[in-house]
Structure 1
Amino acid sequence: MRYLLMYPLKLWRPLAGLFSTLFLITPTSAQKPIDIDPITLNLGRFDDALEKIPANLKIISIEEIERSGATNVPELLSRYAGVFTSMDFFGNGSDSAKVDLRAFGSVADENTLILIDGRRVKDNDLSTVNWSSIPLKFIERIEILRGGGAVLYGRGATAGVINIVTMSPGKRDNFVEIEGTTGTYNTDSGAIAGSFGTDKYGLMVNTQGYSSDNYRTNNKETRQAGQLAYKFYGESIETSIQIGTSQQNVRLPGALNIQPSNGTDEVLSLGRRGSTTPNDFSRAIENYLTGGLDVDAGDSQAIINFGWRSSNDESFFDAFNDTYAERDRETWHVSPRLRRAFNVGSIEHDIKLGMDYERWSVTRNVSDAEQNISDPHNIFKSEQRNYGLYVENTIGISDLWALSVGARWDEQTQSAIDTFDANAPGAAAKFESQAPAKDQKISVSGYELNLKRELQIGRYVGVSTNKSYRLANVDEIGATGEFDASFNKVFQFLRPQISHTHQLFFGRNAPQYTYNVNLYQIDTRDEIRLDLLTTGAGNTNFPLTKRQGFEAQTSFMGPHFSVSSAYVYTKAKFSRGTTGTHNLTGKTIPLTPKHTFNFNGTYRFPKNVDLSLDFNYFSEQVMDNDEPNIMHTNIPDYSVTNLKLSRKTDGWKFGAGVSNLFDREYHSYAVASGFTATRFGVYPLPERVIYLTIGKTFGTK
């Protein structure tokens, strides 16, 4: 708790008084929490009731998703306290967007763990989550764990965990749902979903397609996704299997460069929709298979999940000396776990014990052109194996008190091999060489301690502390090119990043009114980031960083309207370190707005007509690659307002929406050049966008 006392005294005085009032309620007024509909979630690797988990959690229900007016997952998540969407290059929620919990900026994807139905969906490289394969239409709820999640999930959960729970086949569900959307920039999308079930099994099929020219020149995009899920329900056994596929083809417009020192401004010369990379593109295909067996024997439960995922992508970047690359990735994982509930006297214990095994491999071929890829000048191969063991005990001290303690041990082995053919087409023009083969074995550990007390009228208060970690991915060790001080190509295996998170949280869950307040501090050593200003560094370990934050969110639901709002204050700084000749002490970490605010309101008119208004504000940010804060400009603050009108009647659904209602010109991402002082690139985002939606449901859900 001594870490939490470092917050400004002005902030802590009123909070300390409120905390004391809540915590010291007399037994007469705090006999039992109020009765509300139970919420079940899966973030604990088993199905748990929300009130039984002594952690800092937020659940986004299907009702909230439908009311939100959001058109993609990153846009939806950005409306909740402590969640910030960065690096959305195109404004359509595609796979460039990074969802950031608690101010990690450009490395958000490596510190915020994204799960779909409990499985990892991001590869062990610098690629982002393929958000385009996750339609909002097929999401049942989203579970957000704020703070480290290393005990149950291992690496990469420093800031927290976001678990996207998709609709699963239900008993006696028999329906078919069709939906189509059309909008600005020749945008069209469609989705079909069907579910069929009995008392013993459920089968669900869904598919979706999307096509758009998008806002920028050379940014046309098409994508498709499909999924088949089967579930068998026995008396004490459930089995499930799910297969899916997705593909995306997108043109890449690149950044528009600005350099005040020589008068360059491509935003003015080419217009906000312009492009300087007419030949750049990316194509990707992904297939996956997952399954599970769940045996429930009352006080004991055993689950085993397994999965396979394969992906192939191709890309061409004219600006990077004509670089065409093909990459094949494959992942296998298996996760057996056990649960046992028992009492010792009047104390309830709920112990979870599990193991995670994952094998991930990649092959990357690089050439100067697509037609020459059969004779590449570089071939990179890497394999990674992860073994993890964890145990967690949730202790019900009384009806009001809950405590959880847990620990995890992980071991990772990784190898990297690089070959270079100087006689291959285009090789002579490349600044390339062959990195010596290298391998590494690392062991790391994490822990957690959470304490939560339920109070009267649905209120709660809790504290937590934990240790989490992340390990460098294949791109960060040199898959795309790392060089030493003599500019020889090398693999740079890095030290594990270690973080300690301490937080205080309190709030209220009630049928009509909820609020939650969080205060946190994250101290990180050996943070893994890109260092462009130190010769021969590439990705490296920065000594110390500190993040402090205040998050507050409230919502109210009446018979005809609902409102919610969220405010976040974030202070993200380097505590120590250098880059090039620059001292980083006290410098702001890039892509971390100090203030964010959101408001959402929905009013229901007669005949089930809903009108939703959404407002989002983000303060200015230091641009990417500007760790020493030496650029003379930042990403300006901006606000975006969205409006949606919808109606449901007799199985029909109609909707009309406007994104960026006031036609603002803005960008949420800019990157400083690592080679030319005062030069930076921006990615302008769309102005006003209008869309129409119609859908029909046949049968019963």
Structure 2
Amino acid sequence: MKKIILLLGILNTLVVANEISLDKSTITSTTGFTENISKENKNVIIIGKEDISKKEYHNLEEVLNNTPNVMVQQTYFGPIVDLRGNGERAISRVKVLVDGIAINPIDDSMGTLPINTIPLNNIERIEVIPGGGAVLNGSGTAGGVVNIITKSTEKKDYFSLNYGNSSYQTNQTSLSTGYNVTDKLYVYGGFSHLNGKGYRQKDSKENNSFNGGFEYQLTSNQKIRFQGSNFKENNDTSTSILKTELAKERKKAGYLVESNSSRKSYSLEYELKATDNLVFLTTLYTQKFKRNFTEHSKMDEYKMDKIGKMPFSLVGYNLPVKMLGSFDEDTKGIKLKSKYSYDKGNLILGYEYSKTNLKRTSDIFTNGKFFPAISKVNNKLMGINADIHIDILNDVYKENNSLFGLNKYNLSDNLSLITGLRYEHSKLGGNRVNNTYVDTSFMPTIKSNKNINSTDTENNFAGEIGLSYSYSDTGTVFTRYERGFISPMPGQITDKTQNGIYVPNNLKSETSDNFEVGVRDFVGNTYLSWTIFTSFTEDEITLIQGNTHNPATKWWSYKNLGKTRRLGTEILAEQYLGNLTLTQGITLINTKITKGEYKGDKVPLAPESKITLKALYQFNDNINAGLSFNYVGKSTIREYNKNDKSFVTNISSYHFTDLTIQYKFNENFIINAGINNIFNNKYNFSETKNYAIPAPERNYYIGGTISF
């Protein structure tokens, strides 16, 4: 029988061509339990393990970057996933889960999403739900949810060994296996290793990842599942550099950033089927993420409240600076959920507790000459020797207690009503210490010691109501409204001035009203998913920074924007034309600040569009080739100048095209090869008015996989 790729939100669920049936496809991210996807009232994108295996991806970041409707922002601390135009705040507005457990940090300055710590060979599928999810997942879901489902949920016997080589002397090896030891005991494990250079000068990376676990059937109605992972990485990269320098030499390094990081995560799940209609799930989890880094830069000037401005950049002299930093985040939590199925639907009730402690330190030090305006001898500038130490400690926390309920009621065989409510109580705060010491040859040591203790409590509610109507065996139309919220991160409730002083800012929680209507169906040989959405956010949080290229002297302010509005559409279509499969993914977003100080501006760093076009041709049973084109639209960014006046910079759009070829020797041995950015387009991962971090030019890869 002929097989086709059936997209249920995205690309790959294989079914028999003449037996199109959405009823066989499931998703877990919308309720936390396995649900039928055909009657969901949300736009759903699924990335299967088959998609991941078709290309020699190095990490999850590359997979998501090549996915329709998903945008990935780059920082030198790591990637940030964006859905539906959340821009600079995507790290706190798009929740990323691993088997239902959130991995978002509580810090958005040095924090990052540790998605690249998850081995690709351990991923069964990725579920992407743009727009909402607050009832089930709480704060930070205004943009949507990305849930990474590991192979530990599948209980299949398998073995996979992969080796790949790519540009910049990069080598990657991975191994994963799972085995049903007995009828009751299933074990799995995996290992991956990557090492190589990077696109820019002085870039290098090496990481190792281990994962494993087991599932044991205690009785006919009880089972437990344990899983753990351990990731370690050494990474050398560099900061952004002047765009004028990039124009001369794209691979030129900025200030060197050397880092090592580790992430450990463990979870234990207990499932009890009390009756045929009632299921209880209890999940205990802990996550630890650590990063130590050394960052080199130059200090052009430094302001201190006791002595004012200390310039270093006169007569072309910039003082070398070194910053030693650490980031140590520890999260513990518990999830209690139950699902009760009745004649007309099902009811989900739950409680969730989590507490995250974060210690973030930085020690900035330099010594050399500075040039105060008064030090003139014979009309010549005289440098004065000085030693400067700036010690910063942030010891903060966030604690959440939540209750939630989600009910799905079948009004008829084809029409379902979904309602939900969540209450979340948050405590956040901590201690921030900033000590500055200046030693000179002509005056006693100058000290500035600042210590701020800040605490806050937030009480927030989320709600959802929606309808899903199946008008045919393959077609569903749906609509939904969600009231969501985002409580501040503990690091956001203070600002840093140009003088290096932390001050409270009275930041508020933001609330959002999200609306969407959509349809998914097969029309002839075409699968189509089309969603129109809009959201209105009150008190949206934004970050404005000054001197962004230089961490030693950077300052910032968190503000509530007043009101913002997002209006957009997501279209996903795929045509099956014999051996040729065509895919089109289009996201168009219009963002606007409608009230407040920056009324009329666009939401910062929110691209106006994402367009993905793909073609896959199956030449024969052994060979297929694919071409993919990705376009990311223009955006804006707001910055501070030296006078603390903000201004807007326009960020250009960019695009890249990749070619993949796969040769299948047999069912057990596959080779992948390809060219990324085949047209050698020059674009930037990130940029401000004067500085940027460049993306790689044309590069190549080849790899092979043995599996049983």
Which TM bucket (shorter chain)? Answer: 0.7 to 0.9
Q: Does 1:99 align with 2:81?
A: yes
Shift of 1:102: 0.6
Aligned AA (2:560)? N
CA–CA separation in structure 1 for the residues paired with 2:279 and 2:101: 19
- The residue that corresponds to 2:279 in the other structure is 301
- The match for 2:103 is 121
Partner of 1:206: 190
Partner of 2:237: 252
Q: Select 1:315's aligned residue among 271, 293, 311.
A: 293
AA in 2 matched with 1:284: S
Deviation at 1:420, TM superposition (A): 4.4
- Aligned pair in 2 of structure 1 residues 430, 35: CA closer, same or farther (>3 Å)? farther
1:501 aligns with 2:514: yes
- Distance in 2 (CA, whole Å) between partners of 1:587 and 1:382 is 33
| Residue type at the aligned position of 1:102 | R
Q: Is the 8 A contact 2:56 2:703 kept in 1?
A: no
- The Cα of 1:641 is off from its aligned counterpart by 0.7
Contact 1:156/1:469 (<8 A) preserved: yes
- Matched residue, 1:621: 635
Find the residue that maps to 1:653 and give its secondary structure.
strand
1:380 is the counterpart of 2:394? yes
Q: Distance in 1 between matches of 2:464 and 2:447?
A: 46
Q: Report the AA paired with residue 182 of structure 1.
A: N
Cα 1:384/1:623, change in 2 over 3 Å: closer
Identity %: 19
Distance 1:120 1:394 in 2: 24
The letter of the residue matching 2:339 is R
Match of 1:51 among 20, 38, 43: 38
Structure 1 residues 71 and 537, CA, compared in 2 at 3 Å: closer, same or farther?
A: closer
Aligned counterparts of 2:661 and 2:514: Cα–Cα separation in 1: 41
After superposition, what is the alpha-carbon deviation per residue over 1:82-124, rounded to whole angstroms, capped at 9, x for unaligned? Answer: 32122266xxxxx622111110111111101101111111221
Q: 1:361 to 1:62 in 2, by over 3 A?
A: same
Aligned: 1:242 with 2:220: no
- TM-score scaled by length of structure 1: 0.84
Deviates more, 1:549-558 or 1:444-453: 549-558
Alignment of 1:448-487 (within 5 A): 448-478=464-494, 482-483=496-497
1:76–1:543 Cα change, 3 Å: same
Residue identity in the other structure for 2:539: D
Q: One-letter code of the match for 2:98? A: I
In the alignment, the residues of structure 1 paired with residue 448 and residue 486 of structure 2 have an alpha-carbon distance, to the nearest angstrom, of 29
Q: CA deviation at 1:228?
A: 0.7
Q: How far is 1:369 from its partner?
A: 6.2
* TM-score, structure 2 normalization: 0.83
1:645 aligns with 2:624: no
Which of 519, 523, 540 lines up with 2:536 in the alignment? 523
Deviation string 1:235-271 (CA, Å, 9 cap, x unpaired) is 222210001111121112211114xxxxxx11134x1
C-alpha distance in structure 2 between counterparts of 1:207 and 1:406, whole Å: 40
SS at match of 1:76: helix
Instruction: Decide whether aligned partners of structure 1 residues 362 and 592 sit closer, same or farther in structure 2, where only a CA change above 3 A counts.
Output: closer
Name the residue aligned to 1:594: 608
TM-superposed deviation, 1:486: 8.6
Deviations 1:3-42 (A, max 9, x none): xxxxxxxxxxxxxxxxxxxxxxxxxxxxxx9744511221
3-state DSSP of counterpart to 1:435: strand
The residue type equivalent to 2:88 in the other structure is S
For the residue of structure 1 that corresponds to 2:325, the secondary structure is strand
Asked if the contact 1:440–1:493 (Cα under 8 Å) also holds between the matched residues in 2, the reply is no
Partners of 2:447 and 2:704 in 1: CA distance? 53
Report the counterpart of residue 87 of structure 1 in structure 2: 74
CA distance in 1 between counterparts of 2:189 and 2:34 reads: 24
Q: Distance in 2 between matches of 1:169 and 1:403?
A: 29
Q: Tell me the CA shift for residue 618 of structure 1.
A: 2.2
Matches within 5 A, 1:131-150: 131-150=115-134
Shift of 1:411: 0.4
Match of 1:561 in 2: 580
Alignment partner of 1:442 is 2:458: yes
Change (3 A) 1:257 1:553: same
Q: In 2, distance between residues paired with 1:429 and 1:498?
A: 48
Q: 2:694 aligns to what SS in structure 1?
A: coil
Sort the Cα spacing of 1:64 and 1:175 in 2 relative to 1 into closer, same or farther, 3 A.
closer
Choose which of 402, 424, 434 in structure 2 pairs with 1:410: 424
Question: Are the counterparts in 2 of residues 512 and 557 from structure 1 also a CA contact under 8 Å?
Answer: yes
Per-residue CA deviations over 1:282-333 (Å, capped at 9, x if unaligned) read 2211111111011122111100111011122112222375321122221100
After superposition, what is the alpha-carbon deviation per residue over 1:396-443, rounded to whole angstroms, capped at 9, x for unaligned?
Answer: 1111101110010000112311334556999x9999642321211111
Q: Does 1:400 align with 2:379?
A: no
Aligned to 1:10: none
Amino acid at match of 1:196: Y
* CA drift at 1:161: 0.6
Contact 2:419 2:464 in 1 (8 A): yes
1:271-282 alignment runs, 5 A limit:
271-278=249-256, 280-282=257-259
Q: Secondary structure at 1:368's aligned position in 2? A: strand
**Distance in 2 between the 1:493 and 1:472 partners?**
10
Using the alignment, how far apart are the partners of 1:430 and 1:292 within structure 2? 55
- Could you tell me how far 1:170 is from its partner in structure 2? 4.5
In terms of fraction of residues, the more strand-rich structure is 2
Which structure 1 segments of 5+ residues have no match? Answer: 1-32, 90-94, 259-264, 579-583, 673-679
Distance 1:398 1:453 in 2: 9
Paired residues, number: 627
| Alignment partners' CA distance in 1, 2:447 and 2:73 | 31
Q: SS at the partner of 1:168?
A: helix
Residues 402 and 626 of structure 1: is their aligned pair in 2 closer, same or farther, counting only changes over 3 Å? farther
Separation in structure 1 between the aligned mates of residue 646 and residue 437 of structure 2, nearest angstrom: 43
TM-superposed CA distance for 1:166, in Å, is: 1.3
Looking at structure 2, the residues matched to 596 and 502 of structure 1 have their Cα atoms a distance apart, in angstroms, of: 20
Are 1:661 and 2:678 counterparts?
A: yes
Deviations 1:196-227 (A, max 9, x none): 11321211101111112110112211111110
Q: What is the rounded CA distance, in whole Å, between the counterparts of 2:482 and 2:194 in structure 1?
A: 41
Structure 2 partner of 1:267:
246
User: Residue 39 of structure 1 is aligned with which of 25, 42, 45?
Assistant: 25
* Closer/same/farther in 2, CA of residues 317 and 477 from structure 1, 3 Å limit: farther
Equivalent-residue separation in structure 2 for 1:557 and 1:61 (angstroms): 18
Residues 493 and 45 (structure 1), Cα distance of their counterparts in 2 relative to 1, 3 Å cut = farther
Q: What is the SS of the residue equivalent to 1:106? A: helix
Task: Specify the SS of the correspondent of 1:267.
Answer: helix
Q: Distance in 2 between matches of 1:619 and 1:382?
A: 36
Question: Which residue of structure 2 aligns with residue 63 of structure 1?
Answer: 50
Q: 1:409 to 1:616 in 2, by over 3 A?
A: same
Segment of structure 1 superposing worse, 69-78 or 584-593: 69-78
Residue 512 of structure 1 deviates from its aligned partner by 6.1
CA distance in 2, matches of 1:293, 1:369: 50
**Cα distance in structure 2, aligned partners of 1:545 and 1:429:** 48
Corresponding letter in the other structure for 1:140:
E
> Is contact 1:587–1:629 with CA below 8 Å preserved after alignment?
no
Equivalent in 234, 237, 261 of residue 284 of structure 1: 261
Q: Which amino acid aligns with 2:246?
A: V
Name the counterpart of 1:195: 178
Q: 1:682 to 1:378 in 2, by over 3 A?
A: closer
For residues 596-642 of structure 1, the C-alpha deviation after alignment (integer angstroms, 9 at most, x for no partner) is 311111111224211111111223222464899955x6332222110
SS at match of 1:665: coil
Q: Which amino acid aligns with 2:59?
A: N
* SS of residue paired to 1:614: strand
Q: 1:186 aligns with which of 146, 161, 169?
A: 169
CA distance in 2, matches of 1:510, 1:144: 23
Give the superposed CA RMSD: 2.9
Contact 1:635 1:667 in 2 (8 A): no
The one-letter amino acid of 1:85's match is V
On the 8 A contact 1:106/1:624 being kept in 2, the answer is no
- 1:378-407 per-residue CA deviation (whole Å, 9 max, x = no partner) reads 332112210000011101111110111001
Superposed displacement of residue 81, structure 1: 4.1
Change (3 A) 1:84 1:339: same
Partner of 1:11: none
